[in-house]
Amino acid sequence: MAVQRVKILLSEDDVPKEFYNIAADLKTPLAPPLHPGTKEPVPPEAFYPLFPKEVVRQEYSTERFIPIPEEVREALLRSGRPMPLFRATRLEAHLKTPAKIYFKHEGMNPCGSHKPNTAIAQAYYNMKEGTDTIYTETGAGQWGTALAYSTMLFGLKCEVFMVRVSFDQKPYRKAMIETYGAKIHASPSPHTSFGKKVLAEKPDHTGSLGIAISEAIEKVATDPTHKSKYSLGSVLNHVMLHQTVIGQEVRQQLALADETPDYVIGCIGGGSNFAGISFPLIYDKMKGKNNAEFIAVEPESCPSTTKGKFEYDFGDTAGMTPLLKMYTLGKDYVPSAIHAGGLRYHGMAPTVSHLVADGMIKPVAYNQKEVFEAGVLFARTEGIIPAPESAHAIKATIDKALECKRKNEAKTIVFNLSGHGLLDLGGYQQYLDGKLA
């Protein structure tokens, strides 16, 4: 009997040579960032104190394709790209669905998530401009780990502010970040003026990504050497376009399997892993090459796209950033302490928000218990323990597969497994013990 094909591989030559920039193909132009005082568009040079010039150029670019430097491409290869596309045949059999389920496994790199795709690029551009130290925030720790890894590759220093609740829930993320040579602080922290202010008002504050962003930006703004920069792991468009190496690989892999996607699914916190898999395939849909439905999955406790407002808001809690037009719950929103720390952000990437408003992306939300239930089912069928963030996408995939079963439709479902959950076992243990809130 022939062995069923369950893994689609690409060669090293197939790693994309360009980033795809969806800003070139939006029906209407992306709303510009605004100055919070004047409400006038912020010019590119206003971002130079925070980001290297090439990153700013990409943020404002409307070029469809942006070449990937060879040094970045080599580092992507070193981190494991191209990543395999798997067929979830055991999950299909368990669900008794006629649907075909594929998943892109972005957890198969030293950091365990999709985050190195942009961390490598940002560390490289900072290195080329002469940056000494990069400051950043992290939610569940995937981004902080990826930036610590990437700054190690390019000889930079790195300092990370990690949301306190995740800092306490996931101690081995701290160990990974420090092993790569970076410093890490629980946020809110006593290391910044804003962190001290938050702690003075509420000493046991669980933190939020908005607060951690404020702390990282403050460190850059107050650096007397002017040799530090800030790096963001999601939300802004330069991050989205760096992640499109995912979807470009998926496009090639689906072609090898002679498949066209009917559903493309990913979790959303700031939007980067979802943008990574979906934007190249949304471009294909614009060109009439597929008719897929794009589903973005968020937690019910942080429902920025399902219950938020599409309006201008700050990207951080202290109000230090320009105003961005996005789906938002408000800069002061503090989500409950769910284990999917990477999805605890008050807003959504402007590009993802724009496409939600245009009807190109459908958002859905789930609660933590049903998400962990889906994660455990995936582990017990496919053998992979997914990150709680990725389990949101798995829950939506299972729902779509069961809908295909009811309708007897052999649709093709593709989702992004944005990271493994081997550092999230505390949450799984709570679920298995019946103690998950």
The pLDDT score that the predictor gives to residue 245 is 98
Residue 102 pLDDT exceeds 70: yes
**Residues 374, 398: contact at Cβ < 8 Å?**
yes
Query: Residue range 132-142: average pLDDT?
Result: 95
Sign of the alpha-carbon torsion through 44, 48, 51, 52: positive
Which residue matches tokens 């809690």? 317
Mean pLDDT to the nearest integer, 359-363: 98
pLDDT at 401: 98
Please give the pLDDT value at position 2: 52
For domain 7-16+75-113+244-432, the CATH class is alpha beta
Where does the pLDDT of residue 337 fall: very low under 50, low under 70, confident under 90, or very high at 90 and above?
confident
For 79-170, where are the alpha helices, taking DSSP H only?
89-95, 116-129, 142-154, 164-169
Tell me the pLDDT tens digit for each residue of 7-30. 999 999 999 999 999 999 999 999
Q: Which of 359, 397, 334 is nearest to 164 (CA)?
A: 334
Are 79 and 111 within 8 A, CB to CB?
A: yes
Instruction: Tell me the pTM.
Output: 0.96
One-letter identity of residue 84: P
Whether residue 304 contacts residue 365, with contact meaning beta carbons closer than 8 Å, is answered with no
pLDDT value at residue 437? 83
Relative to beta strand 263-267, strand 157-163 is unpaired
Cα torsion for 296, 149, 155, 181, to the nearest 10°?
130
Residue 344 has pLDDT above 90, yes or no: no
Contact 136, 161 (CB under 8 A): yes
7-16+75-113+244-432 shares its CATH topology with 22-65+114-237: yes
Task: Pull the structure tokens for residue 164.
Answer: 């306190």
**Average pLDDT for 138-154:** 96
Q: Which region among 5-9, 61-65, 235-239, 271-275 has the lowest average model confidence (pLDDT)?
A: 5-9
Is the pLDDT at 214 greater than 60, yes or no?
yes
Write down the CATH number for the domain with range 22-65+114-237: 3.40.50.1100
d(CA 9, CA 1): 22
Sequence spans of domains, the chain: 7-16+75-113+244-432, 22-65+114-237
Say if residue 1's pLDDT is above 50: no
- The number of beta carbons lying within 10 Å of the beta carbon of residue 67 is 11
Backbone angles phi, psi at 101, to 5 degrees: -115, 125
Q: How far is CA 235 from CA 19, 87, 102, 260, in A?
A: 16, 30, 26, 28
- 146-161 core/surface letters (b: 16 or more CB in 10 A; e: else): bbbbbbbbbebbbbbb
